[in-house]
Amino acid sequence: MPEIKVTPLGAGQDVGRSCILVSIAGKNVMLDCGMHMGYNDDRRFPDFSYITQNGRLTDFLDCVIISHFHLDHCGALPYFSEMVGYDGPIYMTHPTKAICPILLEDYRKITVDKKGETNFFTSQMIKDCMKKVVAVHLHQTIQVDDELEIKAYYAGHVLGAAMFQIKVGSESVVYTGDYNMTPDRHLGAAWIDKCRPDLLISESTYATTIRDSKRCRERDFLKKVHESVERGGKVLIPVFALGRVVFATPGMLHAGQSLQIFRKWAGNEKNMVIMPGYCVQGTVGHKILSGQRKLEMEGRQILEVKMQVEYMSFSAHADAKGIMQLIRQAEPRSVLLVHGEAKKMEFLKQKIEQEFHVNCYMPANGETTTLFTSPNIPVDISLGLLKRESAIGLVPDSKKPKLMHGTLIMKDNSFRLVSPEQALKELGLGEHQLRFTCRVHIQDPRKEHEMVLRVYNHLKGVLKDYSVQHLPDGSIMVESILIQATAQSEDQGTKVLLVSWTYQDEELGSYLTSLLKKGLPQTTA
Ligand SMILES: [Zn+2]
């Protein structure tokens, strides 16, 4: 049976380091190649050794697709292509291709120039990596090879962000990347057509959140800023790098400018930090949002946080309502959640299964989900058979599946459904009929023909809606079921009846047998 396999190398029950391996109809595609903001060691990149233990990565992977320029979706790309050694095609939209190298260079500078790490990708490697990138337009169908095709859809979220449809024959998967179903002040809402994929792989960062209106959020936001400024304080808003509002970055206070300012301002209770979105575990942002007020900084220094900490979601991710909305739009046969926390995913998974009656999966990193698909196989059918089988209407309706009976002929790589008579004629075969026969013992001391007459009268009386005939050769026919008396058994008082039927009349044949086994009514002779 055809199957689709999905293994997250990153972002499985976690946010950050997005990297999902998909096998569909013999093709292998890697979705995103991100870094993890919460780690500075080996765990920051996906574990690519999962992909293949023997052989070259390029031979195994048919292509890599990058959904958008955020580093948790593309931060490991130069490492993967220039250091691990992937040499095949990489697809992303034009804006992503333009912005991606800028962010990668920024990331490299912080890691190598500022933190002094070695064994990291170089500026030249970023350039060489980008040479392998094929830029795509939205809604453009890209033929990766003869069988594998991909197509990008608008995802909102940030400039250039795209959802990707991956298709081989009649099997397909849609990967959302990060997306937003409500338009904000500079980007529109994500959109996809009713493409009914076998699987929708969706992010689920805000799986349990339902956001209030944007207007209320903006009003509350301004109120908080005014409060702090009136007290004589300063307000820090760490934000997500490119393509959003411009304050200090990065958004999760894990490095760079926003972290420096935070360290300077944290000691003054008049100041305020407003966290505008989700923070990954391990980042300073996540620590202060979960109430930690004493932070260990580099060099074992303890930073006491006296400033006010506020959270207001101005995130560009879909909330629970948005995720449900996308599922309604695409009508997938199953859903798989990535890029979220296990607990929140569990809640959304139940909601999805209840509302849409489809399976929902949430594999952890390194865990493979296998789902079986039922591919469409085109079959030619003769007009005669179609007429015979369609009592209701001649025009087939894809929304109302209909059962057809016939003989399937496989010839020259194509399938045809024909009537059994036609199949026999084409294949030059004779027709055989298979009959099932049952023996029924009847207690009756009278002569055989008298006993048969009694059986005939009994059946005629009981089976009023059926045709019951007594034939000249002494047998009885009920519809197509044949009942014959046979040679007497050793016991003079017992007669044997043979009841026989064809495969099609199984139900009536068994019914008659059980009826006769109950015996004949007593008659006054
Ligand atoms: Zn993103």
Provide the pLDDT for residue 500: 93
CA distance 125 to 103: 14
Structure tokens at 390: 């369609």
Nearest by Cα to 72 from 248, 284, 251: 251
Question: Cα of 318 to ligand 1 centre, how many Å?
Answer: 11
Question: Cα of 297 to ligand 1 centre, how many Å?
Answer: 26
Contact call for residues 203 and 176 (beta carbons, < 8 A): yes
Whether the per-residue pLDDT at 244 is higher than 50: the answer is: no
Which range, of 42-51, 110-119, 384-393, 471-480, averages the lowest pLDDT?
384-393
Question: In sequence order, what DSSP letters do the residues of 157-194 get, joined into one string?
Answer: SSTT-EEEEEEETTEEEEE--S--SS--SS--------
Q: Partners of 167 in the beta sheet?
A: 149, 172
Structure tokens at 221: 């936001």
pTM of the model: 0.67
Q: Is 203 a catalytic residue?
A: yes
Q: What backbone torsions phi and psi does residue 150 show, to the nearest 5 degrees?
A: -130, 155
Mean pLDDT of 473-501: 84
Question: In sequence order, what DSSP letters do the residues of 95-141 get, joined into one string?
Answer: HHHHHHHHHHHHHHIIIIIIT---S---HHHHHHHHHTEEEE-BTPE
Question: Cα of 423 to ligand 1 centre, how many Å?
Answer: 58
Question: Cα of 216 to ligand 1 centre, how many Å?
Answer: 24
Whether the per-residue pLDDT at 289 is higher than 60: the answer is: yes
- Alpha-carbon distances, residue 311 vs 164, 181, 199, 226, 317 (angstroms): 31, 21, 34, 16, 15
Q: pLDDT averaged over the chain? A: 86
Residue with tokens 């931060």: 75
CA distance 214 to 83: 44
Provide the pLDDT for residue 253: 65
How many residues are listed for the chain in this entry?
525
Question: Cα of 126 to ligand 1 centre, how many Å?
Answer: 20
Q: Partners of 184 in the beta sheet?
A: none
pLDDT-derived band at 104 (thresholds 50, 70, 90) equals very high
Question: Cα of 178 to ligand 1 centre, how many Å?
Answer: 5
CA distance 66 to 177: 8
CA distance 100 to 122: 15
Q: Which of 4-8, 111-115, 416-420, 439-443 has the highest mean pLDDT?
A: 4-8
Residue 63 class from Cβ within 10 Å (0-12 exposed, 13-18 middle, 19+ buried)? buried
pLDDT-derived band at 525 (thresholds 50, 70, 90) equals very low
Q: Which of 82, 171, 203, 341 is an active site residue?
A: 203
Question: Cα of 180 to ligand 1 centre, how many Å?
Answer: 10
Nearest by Cα to 162 from 91, 240, 105: 91
Which range, of 102-111, 194-203, 268-277, averages the lowest pLDDT?
268-277
Structure tokens at 257: 């400018």
Question: Is the bond leading into 78 cis (omega within 30 degrees of zero)?
Answer: no
pLDDT, greater one: 276 or 80: 80
- Alpha-carbon distances, residue 24 vs 8, 28, 178, 331, 415 (angstroms): 15, 7, 22, 19, 24
Question: Cα of 157 to ligand 1 centre, how many Å?
Answer: 7
Provide the pLDDT for residue 132: 96
Q: Which of 84-98, 198-212, 256-270 has the highest mean pLDDT?
A: 84-98
Residue with tokens 């970023």: 126
Residue-wise pLDDT tens digits, 136-163: 999 999 999 999 999 999 999 989 999 9
pLDDT-derived band at 326 (thresholds 50, 70, 90) equals very high
Provide the pLDDT for residue 251: 61
Contact call for residues 46 and 33 (beta carbons, < 8 A): yes
